[in-house]
Structure 1
Amino acid sequence: MSEPEINIEQEQDGEDLYEKLSFVVDKGQEPLRIDKFVMSRVEGATRNKIQQAIENELVLVNDKAIKSNYKIKPGDKIVVFDTKHPESSDIVPENIPLNIVFEDDDILIVNKPAGMVVHPGSGNYNGTLINGVAYYLKQQNPLLDESLLPRFGLVHRIDKNTSGLLVLAKTQKAMSDLAKQFFNHTIHRRYITLVWGNMENEEGTIVGHVGRHQRFRKLFTVYPDGEYGKDAITHYKVLERFNYVTLVECRLETGRTHQIRVHMQSIGHPVFSDDFYGGDKIVKGTVFTKYKQFVDNCFALCPRQALHAKELGFIHPVTRKPVLFESDLPGDMQAVIEKWRKYIK
């Protein structure tokens, strides 16, 4: 009997934190319980973990949820969603102020300030958004087992120096449903950014695989389709022009790490004040003393990439109704935009 066809799609390096594995059952496969079949095909999986995933509808057969005792048949298409999250030992509840835009029994919408890391990792073990969320949830329910906190909550992230909206799940059901929505690219995400240069078109779409830079591992770059990295699609529309810089809205179809920043750099319009991708120096305009001083003052007003996650919309995981949340541009971006408006008058 030949091995089943296996396709693995990963987004561990992206803003959307999950992994998706899909299998097509071989024609010669004998009937076998779904949990045993998946456990034998997924590295490091335990039967208990697989059964939990089945219970939380993170295992689908022919696009439908099933029970643990389902027996696979030749030709069945099996999809396994594996959400990624920090380990339990990384999460220490901390009393960190949170700007909560919306909350109900199932979800939490937070407006993250620039400068805050989303979750603990190398070099950032505390002071993160997730540390603050853990404390907040613990205050709501003092009996909450802290070891359970990482098991739900985070389904996507935004960069440390990007501000804006994030959704977190408060239940495993909400976590599972939102993870699938992110993976299927049905989440509405609208960003506002200030980029260098006067963009040629009023609107357009940037398509290009995004992956880690081969030499500088902290950076990402755009590769020709299929050569390296993962497919990435950004739709943009010009909102306002300031001759040397342009105010743009971007809508993400995919959620790759640094996607907007890398895509904008790839078409010659790096995000203003982005020190990773060349936006922290004068890209457009004559470098004379008065203009240079003006730009330096703008950098001082907004000393981080001018990028804000303004809108977030999705289908509510329980009510099944569309929800849309919006946040105002933060003060640093408002100030630098207004300064450019005055400069060109």
Structure 2
Amino acid sequence: MPTKFTLMMDDDKDLQESSEELYERQTIVTNKGQEPYRIDKFLMNRIEGATRNKVQQAIEAGRVLVDGKQVKSNFKVKANMEIVVYSDREHIGEEIIPEEMPLNIFHEDEDIIIINKPAGLVVHPGSGNRSGTLINGVAWYLQQQNKAISEETLPRFGLVHRIDKNTSGLMVLAKTSKAVSSLAKQFFDHTVHRRYIALVWGDVQEDEGTIIAHVGRHQRFRKLFEAYPEGEYGKDAITHYKVLERFGYVTLVECRLETGRTHQIRVHMKHLGHPLFNDDFYGGDKIVKGTVFSKYKQFVDNCFEICPRHALHAKELGFVHPGTKEFILFNSEIPQDMERVIEKWRGYAKVKPGNLPE
């Protein structure tokens, strides 16, 4: 029988990349009268539900920092010290079975795997997607390398961020617990470089700008997310954008994520008045800008057929390597479906209205 693994994740297939949703950070500042005390015992007494074994595992994995530095379990905390603890939240265990599937492995070493995910592939099992996900394929791939791999030797498959089912592009998975901790902290601290390419509706007014608006679940339609520029509902979210090319009724932009909230780029661009081209969640799957001419409608419908998903690609991913401690940057090509649509709009922008390409 195939070996079963456990994936500790949310049960929502539509969640995007966001280590903030996978990890929590707790900060404790010792008071000025704190006597020297072993840090494992100190944290066990201060954190609800913590056991000494779990605390020591967190310390060993580098998820406990004192004044910004990693320590050992026998370290003595003293007065006026800042202790930061990174911990993964409790998730419902989702059993998965390794499945053979093609994986576009962009890079691999003893610490990490970089995968160039195609559009249409769900990242992890969830409601309605128990099999056929990227993680099912990764489980099979890793098991071929080491038949002894189990959930104990590779917990959660190092999944520190996610991208949407219909978004293509680069993802990183950690192969060791220390790599998980290192990458999770980088995502949490917003130091990971993430550059996306998006085709959006409309002629974006500014050449570049920053969108600052909380992102949270829509209060009526729970599968959708919404931008909340005022108030504290949702989570703080920041997207930097820059226009790359203008095609009249659509614009090619790059988006750099400072935070990584669920559906952040899709929600923020809609908030700006420029939903992603063919985004069926946020209104981009109909003609948002353009003429009433039937030839134009046919042109747009042809574009929808060429790129039957929202036009978003995770092009660049950069971070400090967990092993070498050096910054590394990966860059992937825009996939064919998006490239073809961009070329069609580039051609359209060169012709006059009434002389549209067939």
Would you say same fold, with TM above 0.5?
yes
Conserved 8 A contact 1:88-1:149: no
Match of 1:303 in 2: 308
- Structure 2: gaps of 5 or more residues: 1-14, 351-358
Distance 2:168 2:241 in 1: 18
Indicate whether 1:196 and 2:234 are aligned. no
Match of 1:261 among 260, 263, 266: 266
Match of 1:249 in 2: 254
Match of 1:58 in 2: 63
Aligned length: 334
Match of 1:102 in 2: 107
Distance apart, 1:30 and its partner CA = 4.8
**CA pair 81-263 structure 1, distance change in 2 beyond 3 A:** same
Match of 2:38 in 1: 33
1:52-84, Cα deviation, whole Å (9 max, x unpaired): 000111011111111212333332211111135
Q: TM-score normalised to the size of structure 1?
A: 0.91
Conserved 8 A contact 1:134-1:149: no
User: What percent of counterpart residues are identical?
Assistant: 70
Match of 1:289 in 2: 294
Match of 1:15 among 18, 30, 34: 18
Say what the alpha-carbon RMSD is for the aligned residues.
1.9
Distance 2:224 2:106 in 1: 31
Which sits farther off after the overlay, 86-95 or 323-332? 86-95
**CA pair 212-14 structure 1, distance change in 2 beyond 3 A:** farther
Distance 1:63 1:320 in 2: 16
Indicate whether 1:79 and 2:79 are aligned. no
1:74-124, Cα deviation, whole Å (9 max, x unpaired): 322111111358665523211121000111111100000111111122222
Indicate whether 1:327 and 2:332 are aligned. yes
Structure 1 counterpart of 2:18, which letter? E
Structure 2 counterpart of 1:185, which letter? H
Which sits farther off after the overlay, 144-153 or 307-316? 144-153
Conserved 8 A contact 1:87-1:150: no
3-state SS of 2:322 partner: coil
Distance 1:341 1:213 in 2: 35
Conserved 8 A contact 1:232-1:259: yes
Match of 1:208 among 194, 213, 216: 213
Match of 2:285 among 280, 286, 300: 280
Distance apart, 1:28 and its partner CA = 5.0
Distance 1:309 1:73 in 2: 44
3-state SS of 1:290 partner: helix
Conserved 8 A contact 2:17-2:164: no
Distance 1:101 1:251 in 2: 21
Match of 1:155 in 2: 160
**CA pair 97-44 structure 1, distance change in 2 beyond 3 A:** farther
3-state SS of 1:261 partner: helix
Distance apart, 1:171 and its partner CA = 1.1
Q: TM-score normalised to the size of structure 2?
A: 0.88
Indicate whether 1:133 and 2:135 are aligned. no
Which sits farther off after the overlay, 259-268 or 170-179? 170-179
Which sits farther off after the overlay, 266-275 or 124-133? 124-133
Match of 1:176 among 181, 184, 191: 181
Greater RCO structure (CA 8 Å; 6+ sep):
2
3-state SS of 2:347 partner: helix
